[in-house]
């Protein structure tokens, strides 16, 4: 039960829709409400002017439109804290990427800064991307900024003023201009420039010297199969880069964040720094929780290539990281490359990354349900790690929770098993490592700012997304 004061006065397929033409609210939605304090089985929420205006249980109040999803979970829309919308086709990628987000119940993406042709290193480039969001986005978009190898404090300040929610750098060079390696001196300068802002700095955490030396040895030995990818980037490359970065952040009193860790020891290292009173956080990616290199790489090959790599035999240990609260949130690291970039017989010649926006929420929920045996517990865990956690981390204070006054960004999950078909999205890349997986829940509808963005069959076409500035 929730307090009557909150009930009354706080500021697709399977759905039953009613238009009444009356009421103080624009829309009410009924179902199993997933709140921070628990689940209301017979709940409703009322929406006005794009915000959640009231929450209650039992009979919903009058509204212009009423929607009921009997038995379905109503969650705060997922916030995917790691996507690459513009890394292949520039700002034009915002459209299809945010459409994929809506299909998966993701209402906000946090997009990486490594756009083609130029990374987001200046206030002018940020403004151009924000304009593109306003024209193309179906979901909300928050943004990372980044720096070149020699950071300019004025550019950093302009990005902060422009509303970026975090900065991202790499200890490994994937591209000399778009995705360069940022040396330790530049990292210290970035942390110093951000000292009074509270903004986190995230890092792609692989030691370049270790990886390049090991890969060269593998190439020389003719070990270029998909199964050789993971051992060619050994755990010490992650641990070395992670430890160095955490110490650099600590030296400047900065917030050091690891954007993906493939081994439990990496999360332990972050926890040790946090126990010392430092601002240190860590993020899990869904593919580490669902795939195993020994089991899945032989059948999926290059489709499963990501960096840092998916390891063998660590899935249960990484789920223990989730269950013990050592990961701040879970993301997809969505990269929708064309399949032609995965076609070489040499694993070192194909692009790293995989699509993941459409599968983040149903995939996480499915495995959480298998492990807990409780649908409400799985829903609460999904809300905590896919909505609340990233909202807190990125300072998106009006998102991530079902609460009066919050943005009406919602994901409806119907308790209906479905088999994921990556080709069902006409604007997707046409392939996915998750293709053919059966999930225990189906995204039945997605609302962005109170507007129906996905009806369970298709994206509605509304470009309802907005630029989500850091507000906390």
Query: Which of 393, 417, 445 delimits the end of a domain?
Result: 393
Would you say residue 195 has pLDDT above 50? yes
Instruction: Write down which residue in 344, 362, 393 finishes a domain.
Output: 393
337-342 long-range contacts, Cβ below 8 Å, gap at least 24?
337/88, 337/429, 338/88, 338/429, 339/429, 339/430, 339/431, 342/301, 342/302, 342/303, 342/305, 342/431
In a domain, 370, yes or no: yes
Residue 95 in contact with residue 58, Cβ under 8 Å? no
For residues 112-124, one letter each, b for 16 or more C-beta atoms within 10 angstroms of the residue's C-beta and e for the rest, the string is bbbbbeebbbbbe
Q: Can you give the pLDDT at residue 463? A: 84
Are 61 and 54 within 8 A, CB to CB? Answer: yes
Do 137 and 212 reside in the same domain of the chain? yes
Determine the Cα–Cα distance for residues 278 and 313; give it in Å rounded to an integer.
31
Contacts 24+ apart (CB under 8 A), 5-9: 6/54, 6/55, 6/56, 6/404, 7/54, 7/55, 7/56, 7/57, 8/54, 8/56, 9/54
pLDDT value at position 461? Answer: 87
The first and second tokens of residue 241, run together, are: 């880069």
Residues 121 and 60 both lie in one domain: no
Find the domain containing 127 and state its range.
78-393
Q: What is the CATH number of the domain that holds 89?
A: 3.20.20.140
Q: What is the pLDDT of residue 1?
A: 32
If you average pLDDT over residues 119-147, what whole number do you get? 98
Do residues 310 and 424 share a domain? Answer: no
**325 within some domain:** yes
Shared domain check, 448 and 366: no
To the nearest 10 degrees (0 to 180), the angle between helices 94-103 and 123-136 is: 50
- 281 shares its domain with 413: no
pLDDT mean over 103-128: 98
Res 246: pLDDT: 98
Predicted local distance difference test score (pLDDT) of residue 17? 62
Query: What CATH number should be reported for the domain holding residue 32?
Result: 2.30.40.10
pLDDT of residue 20: 55
Residues 258 and 161 occupy one common structural domain: yes
Summarised one tens digit per residue, pLDDT across range 32-70 is 999 999 999 999 999 999 999 999 999 999 999 999 999
- Does residue 115 form part of some domain? yes
Residue 9: pLDDT over 70: no
Question: Tens digit of pLDDT for each residue in 166-179?
Answer: 999 999 999 999 99
CA–centroid distance for 173 within its chain? 23
Instruction: Tell me the pLDDT of the chain averaged across its residues.
Output: 95
**Is the residue at 464 inside a domain?**
no
Tokens 């993301």 locate to 331
Nearest to 368 by CA among 356, 384, 355: 384
DSSP state of 302: G
Whether 191 and 318 share a structural domain: yes
Is 431 found in the same domain as 388? Answer: no
**What is the C-alpha separation between 311 and 256, in angstroms, rounded?**
24
- 32 and 138 fall within a common domain: no
Q: What is the pLDDT of residue 323?
A: 97
pLDDT exceeds 50 at position 440: yes
- Give yes or no for residue 346 having a pLDDT over 70: yes
pLDDT score at 8 = 34
Check residue 472 and give its pLDDT: 81
Residues 71-79: what's their mean pLDDT? 98
When pLDDT is cut at 50, 70 and 90, the band that residue 279 belongs to is very high
Number of domains in the chain: 2
Residue pLDDT, tens place only, 242-270: 999 999 999 999 999 999 999 999 999 99
Judged against a pLDDT cut of 60, whether residue 371 lies above it is answered with: yes
- Looking at the chain, the whole-number percentage of residues with pLDDT higher than 70 is 96
Q: Is the model's pLDDT at 142 over the cut of 60?
A: yes
Q: Is residue 315 part of a domain?
A: yes
Report residue 13's pLDDT band, with 50, 70 and 90 as the boundaries: low
- Asked if residue 447 is part of any domain, the answer here is yes
Co-location of 88 and 225 in the same domain: yes
Is residue 369 situated within a structural domain?
Answer: yes
Res 4: pLDDT: 32
Report whether pLDDT(214) > 90: yes
Tell me, what's the pLDDT at 40?
A: 98
Q: If you average pLDDT over residues 301-329, what whole number do you get?
A: 98
Whether 14 shows a pLDDT value over 80: the answer reads: no
Clarify whether residues 121 and 206 are in a common domain: yes
118 lies in some domain: yes
User: Rounded distance, CA 179 to CA 164, Å?
Assistant: 18
pLDDT at 87 over 60: yes
Q: Which whole number is the average pLDDT over 230-236? A: 98
Q: Which two tokens mark 438? A: 């059966």
Q: Are residues 354 and 415 in the same domain?
A: no
């Amino acid at each position: 039960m929730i307090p009557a004061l909150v009930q009354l006065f706080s500021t697709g397929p399977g759905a039953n829709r009613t238009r009444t033409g009356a009421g103080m609210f624009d829309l009410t939605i009924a179902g199993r409400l997933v709140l921070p304090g628990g689940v209301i089985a017979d709940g409703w929420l009322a929406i006005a002017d794009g915000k959640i205006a009231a929450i209650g249980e039992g009979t919903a109040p009058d509204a212009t439109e009423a929607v009921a999803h009997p038995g379905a979970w109503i969650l705060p829309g997922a916030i995917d804290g790691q996507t690459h919308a513009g890394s292949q086709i520039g700002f034009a990628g915002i459209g299809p990427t945010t459409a994929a987000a809506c299909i998966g119940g993701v209402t906000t993406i946090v997009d990486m800064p490594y756009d083609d042709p130029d990374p987001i290193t200046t206030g002018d480039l940020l403004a151009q991307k924000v304009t593109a969001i306003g024209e193309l986005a179906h979901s909300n978009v928050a943004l990372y900024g980044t720096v070149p190898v020699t950071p300019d404090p004025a550019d950093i300040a302009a990005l902060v003023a422009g509303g970026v929610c975090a900065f991202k750098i790499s200890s490994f060079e994937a591209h000399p201009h778009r995705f360069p390696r940022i040396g330790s001196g530049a990292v210290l300068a970035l942390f110093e420039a951000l000292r009074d802002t509270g903004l986190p700095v995230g890092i792609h955490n692989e030691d370049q010297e270790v990886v390049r030396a090991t890969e060269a040895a593998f190439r020389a030995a003719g070990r270029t199969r998909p199964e050789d990818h993971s051992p060619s980037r050994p755990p010490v490359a992650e641990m070395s880069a992670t430890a160095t970065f955490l110490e650099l952040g600590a030296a400047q009193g900065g917030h050091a964040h690891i954007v993906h860790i493939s081994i439990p020891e990496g999360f332990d290292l972050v926890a040790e720094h946090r126990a010392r009173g430092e601002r240190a956080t860590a993020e899990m990616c869904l593919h580490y929780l669902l795939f195993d290199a020994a089991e899945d790489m032989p059948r999926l090959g290059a489709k499963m290539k990501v960096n840092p790599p998916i390891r063998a035999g660590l899935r249960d240990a990484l789920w223990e990281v989730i269950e013990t609260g050592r990961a701040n949130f879970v993301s997809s690291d969505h990269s929708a490359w064309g399949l032609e970039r995965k076609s070489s017989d040499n694993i070192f010649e194909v692009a790293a990354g995989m699509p993941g926006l459409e599968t983040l929420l149903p995939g996480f929920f499915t495995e959480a349900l298998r492990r807990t045996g409780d649908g409400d517990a799985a829903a609460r865990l999904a809300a905590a790690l896919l909505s609340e956690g990233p909202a807190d981390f990125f300072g998106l204070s009006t998102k991530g929770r079902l609460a009066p006054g919050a943005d009406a960004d919602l994901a409806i999950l119907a308790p209906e098993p479905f088999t994921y078909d990556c080709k069902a999205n006409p604007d997707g890349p046409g392939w996915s490592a998750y293709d053919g997986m059966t999930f225990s829940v189906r995204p039945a509808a997605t609302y962005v700012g109170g507007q129906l963005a996905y009806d369970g069959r298709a994206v509605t076409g509304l470009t309802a997304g907005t630029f989500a500035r850091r507000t906390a």
